[in-house]
Amino acid sequence: MRKVSVVECRTYDEKEVLKAVEKAIEDIGFEIKPCSKVLLKPNVLMGASPEKAITTNPAVIDAVCAILVKKKCRIIIGESCGIVKEGGVLQAFEEAGITQIAKKRNAKLISFSHEKLRKVSNAKAAFAKEMYLPEILFNADLIISLPKMKTHTLMLYTGGVKNLFGCILGGKKQEYHAIAKKKEEFASLLLDIWMNVKPALTILDGIQGMDGNGPTNGNIVKPGIIMASDNAVAMDIVAERIIGFEGEVLTNAIALKRKLISASEIEVIGKEPRFKFRKPSSAASGIPPWLSGFFLKKAMAYPYPNPEKCKRCWNCVRVCPVTAMKKTNEKDAPYCDKKLCIVCYCCHEMCPYDAIDLKRSFLFALPIKAYSRILSLIGKK
């Protein structure tokens, strides 16, 4: 059985979080071997203060570190951010409040971009049979993934599996987005990464999360839970039910289809609450299956830089994997070339000013909204 624990925790108070994390780990029967070399992979896709609910809260990281310190483990915290400012990943750690925790717990902070890479081959992979991953992932005795409970404009939900995309180096992330243009392809890629990294333990920060246009520009929500599992997919399947997205998260659906896990082998320990997370405005779950080709392309939500919010930092231009985001001059806001755009929403995700709006064509937005409303009414009956 794949055990998934759900523990209530409604505050980031140090003692309360430690108590919840200890119980979550204990409930699934996970044992941490003393004196292990442990790599923690939090969700730090950009430098953001903990109050914004974009990154894994430092209180959760501190709780895990406290448990590891008791076991006399050597702790390493690693990440590869989406936005690379001056100072890079280490600056992002500082802004996210993680540097202070590292100093407190004598943990080493690393940027995966500065680590030696290992070529990994996996015949069972569905999309990427070969990939390069940081060597440190294979030198650690134990990998613990620490995702944040959030919606995602491209993948609908980001949790245990999606968090491991941060093990891919910055430039390679863009390349993968350009290659895996379809959501199904990208979901398969994420599962391939998970199969190669395979964290032994995943602990989800669901005390505060994000719905709407996550993972960076959504609305802060407060599920008030900590989740833990030795299988990230199992945890994500339970999480999608908790937030009201059951059956809609592609990584979960494809994992089940590929028989990487069976729903019948998942055991939930603790109360499984129910919430109604708002979906991203890009969500295409309401688009009828018969819409394809030209019509589907027209029905997609495309990024539109908002000139009033835009600070001309040009992050969107830099992160676009297919150069669809264009800079005309230093004064005007950038624009999106829809002929090139692959609707990966990297620009929206990486905009620190929430200056990228996601909009559908007016002619297609109304029928899609009506269709979604009909489906929801049918579902209630």
CA 127, 132, 137, 138 torsion-angle sign: positive
Residue at token pair 């990440």: 79
pLDDT grade for 201, boundaries at 50, 70 and 90: very high
pLDDT at site 364: 52
pLDDT grade for 344, boundaries at 50, 70 and 90: confident
Cα–Cα distance, 42 to 309 (Å, whole number): 29
Position with higher pLDDT, 150 vs 174: 150
CA torsion angle 201 206 207 208 (round to 10): 140
- Burial class of residue 279 in the structure, from the number of CB atoms within 10 Å of its CB (0-12 exposed, 13-18 middle, 19+ buried): buried
Residue of 188, 147, 151 lying closest to 167 (CA atoms): 147
pLDDT at site 299: 57
Write phi, then psi, for 76 (nearest 5 degrees).
-125, 135
Helices and strands per DSSP (H, E), number in the chain: 13, 17
pLDDT at site 268: 98
Task: Assess whether pLDDT exceeds 90 at residue 11.
Answer: yes
- The string of DSSP codes covering 59-120 is HHHHHHHHHHHHTT-EEEEEE--SS--TTHHHHHHHHTTHHHHHHHHTPEEEEGGGSPEEEE
Residue at token pair 């999360």: 209
For the segment 50-70, the average pLDDT, to the nearest whole number, is 98
List for the chain the helix, strand, coil content (%; round to 5).
Answer: 35, 20, 40
Cα–Cα distance, 166 to 176 (Å, whole number): 12
For the segment 144-171, the average pLDDT, to the nearest whole number, is 95
pLDDT at site 221: 98
Second-level CATH architecture of 293-380:
2-Layer Sandwich (3.30)
CATH number for 2-269 (one of 3.60.40.10, 3.40.50.11440, 3.30.56.10, 3.40.50.2300): it is 3.40.50.11440
Q: Report whether 170 contacts 113 (CB < 8 A).
A: yes
Task: Assess whether pLDDT exceeds 70 at residue 144.
Answer: yes
Q: Is the pTM of this model over 0.75?
A: yes
pLDDT grade for 350, boundaries at 50, 70 and 90: confident
Position with higher pLDDT, 195 vs 169: 195
pLDDT at site 213: 93
pLDDT at site 138: 97
The domain spans of the chain are 2-269, 293-380
Cα–Cα distance, 49 to 15 (Å, whole number): 21
For the segment 104-123, the average pLDDT, to the nearest whole number, is 96
pLDDT at site 88: 84
pLDDT at site 176: 92
Helix, strand or coil, per DSSP, at residue 265: helix
Write phi, then psi, for 176 (nearest 5 degrees).
-65, -40
pLDDT at site 292: 45
With a pLDDT cut of 70, the percent of the chain lying above it is 88
For the segment 12-27, the average pLDDT, to the nearest whole number, is 98
pLDDT at site 369: 56
pLDDT at site 380: 43
For the segment 339-354, the average pLDDT, to the nearest whole number, is 88
Residue of 41, 51, 59 lying closest to 142 (CA atoms): 41
